[in-house]
Structure formats: structure tokens, C-alpha cells
Amino acid sequence: MFGGSERRRQPQYRGQDYNAEFTLSLIDAMETHQQTLTVNGKNIRITIPAGIENGQVIKLKGYGSAGANGGPVGDLYIRIIVSPNADFKRLGNDLYTKATIDLYTALLGGETTIETLKGKVKLKINPETQYGTKIRLKGKGFPVYKKEGETGDLYVTYEIQLPANLTEQQKILLTELSKLK
């Protein structure tokens, strides 16, 4: 050879990726959040965007384990878990809920107030509203992921609560009313 010693390079290996899970409530997933996570003794500040979906993964490049022989650092993958909510069901960017109204409001019309994830909303009930009637509240749903100002819709399904423990006079009036069919 040409008088030099041959030097062999050791192969470089990429560091291992880390996986983690982070749980948010449905209400917390509606707003952008700053969170600090501790991974291998290091505090990492991440931003969780509003509208993130259950099961969605956030990748943080370079926060995995160190590479071997000067290889690149692995990545951190954070899987987001959005906890179910008892009052609201989320499908994409739309929310679904139920509102219970009494028989008299269903028959004669009126108003009711419901809770949304953004506060209370007053709804006008049309006369002769049927059980299972669904209405749409445009823009009262879930924020669209990484699209500022865009929001899904809220769908409200009416359930009618029948009166209980009727007085004798109420029973007589309802019997008379039933004869008018």
C-alpha cells in the first residue's frame, strides 16, 4: 500500500425513538396548550394545538436516545389521548349532544338553555317538536386542527321528558284532550 495505515470507520447508528402518551380532556383539546414533559431527566416544552384528535401523534425530532458512534439522535413520538366526555360526542370537528325538554315545551314551543363546551346557549323550541328532532348550531363545534378560526358544528338532539306524578285534574285534562283526536 502507500505507506499509511488503513483506518477503519465504525458504522454509525441512529438513536432509538421514544414513545409517550399524553392525556387531555375534551375541553382541554379545544384550546392550544403549552405543556412541559420530562423525558430522560430533560424538561421539554411542547405546544399541543387546538382541535387535536384522539390518537394523533406529535413528533419531536431529536428528543430520542443518542446515536451510536456519532449517529443521529432518535425522535420522540407523543400519542395524544383525548378522554371521552359524558355530555358530548366528537366526530371529526362536529360535536353531538342531547337536550331534554318537557312535554309542554315540545307541544307549545318555548325556550331552553343548554351547556356547550364554550358556555351556555339559549335555544328556541318550535311548537310540536318531535322526540329525536336534531338541530345544528353552526360554528359551536370543535376547532379545526391547525386552522385558526375554523370550527365544526354542534348538533343537538331533543329528548322529551314526560310528566310524572300527574294530579287527578291533569289526568282528566289529558283524557279530554285525547278525545279531540
**Cα→Cα distances 23→27, 43, 44, 57, 94, Å:** 12, 18, 16, 12, 20
- What is d(CA 149, CA 37) in angstroms, rounded to the nearest whole number? 28
Last residue of a domain, one of 51, 82, 113: 82
50 part of a folded domain: yes
CB 47 within 8 A of CB 34: yes
Q: How far, in Å, CA of 128 to CA of 151, rounded?
A: 31
**Is beta strand 94-102 parallel, antiparallel or unpaired with respect to 110-116?**
unpaired
Within the chain, residue ranges assigned H as helices are 103-108, 168-178
> What single-letter amino acid sits at 28?
D
Q: Structure pTM? A: 0.80
Model pLDDT for residues 60-116, shown as the tens digit of each residue: 998 888 888 888 999 999 999 999 999 999 999 999 999 999 999 999 999 999 999
Residues 31 and 49 both lie in one domain: yes
Work out how many domains the chain is built from and give that number.
Answer: 2
Residue 144: which CATH number?
A: 2.60.260.20
Is 94 in the same domain as 159?
yes
Q: 157-178: per-residue pLDDT in tens? A: 999 998 888 899 988 988 888 8
Task: Give the residue among 87, 98, 96 at the shortest CA–CA distance from 160.
Answer: 98
State whether 74 and 97 are in the same domain. Answer: no
Are 102 and 161 within 8 A, CB to CB?
yes
Q: What is the pLDDT of residue 178?
A: 85
Residues 75 and 54 sit within 8 Å (Cβ to Cβ): no
Same domain, 46 and 100: no
Structural domain for 100, as ranges? 89-164
Beta-bridge partners for 156 = 97, 135
State whether 62 and 94 are in the same domain. no
- Partners of residue 20 on adjacent β-strands: 78
Q: What share of the chain has pLDDT > 70, as a percent?
A: 96
Does 56 share its domain with 118? no
Across residues 2-28, what is the average pLDDT? 81
